[in-house]
Amino acid sequence: IKGEELNIFLGTLPFDDTDDVKEAVKLKTLEILNNMYGVTERDFARAEIEFVPATKARDIGLDRSLVGGYGHDDRVCAYPALIAEIEAKNPKYTTLTILADKEEIGSAGNTGLHSHFVYDYIEYLSQIFGADVKEVCEKSSCLSSDVNAAFDPTFPDVFEPNNSSYLNRGCVLTKYTGSRGKYSSSDASAEFMNKVISIMEENSVHWQIGELGALDVGGGGTIAQYVAMMNIDVVDLGVPVISMHSPYEVISKLDLYNTYLAFKAFYL
């Protein structure tokens, strides 16, 4: 399917007075939008409007062990990260959860991680406490909360089975991202990997290691590379997903829960 073929059905009925009105179906649709939300045609030139599948998330499988829905990437990581942050009542160190925009298009714009807004915010906090922002970043640690592609037996050719993540084996730790090896990658250090793994094992979190598909076929990027540019130790941790970027993605409840446990342990 080409991008131009992703058309949306908005309506088919014409405006009542069809004799004197051009584009009567369009006018009828605009009338409905105006009555429901106060939207006019002018708003389409300046608003951010997104169309998503109308299907609701639901249990999958006779044992109801899976969840199907659109947008697991990356709501399924953002939500447990936020809940873990809220529940971190008395953390030993200052914690910060950032829900970033536009990751799927390269973290562009001043609301994406490719901008300086996170660094500027950390600098502002550092100034309040009389700290040096560079030293703060150097001593900080970050979990880039993003999904990984779980092995799909229907399409095995795009995976490397020995290095893939699987459903129901826990949250997935992705040491490096990128494509064609480590091109455009963020690569976590061995020391930081050990730190994160130790935290999970000390808190009985089920985890696994995974890569982003077969070497010359798969690949992908996350916000980790932009966090690393601030001299912050960072690694990707999240939920394995089958049919990533499709209108109906599938995850495991066990993996989701262990992702939450990993974030909770990391914050404390």
Say how far apart CA 194 and CA 208 lie, in whole Å: 13
H/E segment holding residue 207: strand 207-209
Cβ-based neighbour number of residue 96 at 10 Å: 13
DSSP strand pairing (178-179 vs 219-220): antiparallel
Cβ-based neighbour number of residue 18 at 10 Å: 12
Say how far apart CA 132 and CA 75 lie, in whole Å: 33
Residue at token pair 């909360």: 145
Cβ atoms 110, 100 nearer than 8 A: no
Residue at token pair 């429901």: 36
Cβ-based neighbour number of residue 23 at 10 Å: 11
The HSE-up count of residue 94 (CA atoms within 13 Å, CB side) is: 10
The predicted structure's pLDDT at residue 106: 83
The predicted structure's pLDDT at residue 108: 86
Q: Which residues contact 51 (CB under 8 A, 6 or more apart)?
A: 8
In eight-state DSSP terms, residue 113 is T
The predicted structure's pLDDT at residue 161: 92
φ and ψ at 201, to 5 degrees?
-70, -35
Domain formed by 58-267, architecture: 3-Layer(aba) Sandwich (3.40)
Cβ atoms 139, 219 nearer than 8 A: no
SS3 content of the chain, % helix, strand, coil (to 5): 35, 15, 45
The predicted structure's pLDDT at residue 19: 65
Total-model pTM: 0.90
Domain residue limits, the chain: 3-45, 58-267
Residue at token pair 């109801």: 64
φ and ψ at 241, to 5 degrees?
-130, 135
Residue at token pair 């499988």: 61
The predicted structure's pLDDT at residue 231: 96
Q: What is the pLDDT along the chain (268 residues), one digit of tens a residue?
A: 888 998 889 899 988 866 677 788 999 999 999 999 999 999 999 988 888 888 899 999 999 999 999 999 989 999 999 999 999 989 989 999 999 888 888 888 888 898 999 999 999 999 999 999 999 999 999 999 999 999 999 999 989 999 999 999 999 999 988 777 777 788 999 999 999 999 999 999 999 999 888 777 767 888 899 999 999 999 999 999 999 989 999 999 999 999 999 999 999 8
Tokens representing 120 are 């500027």
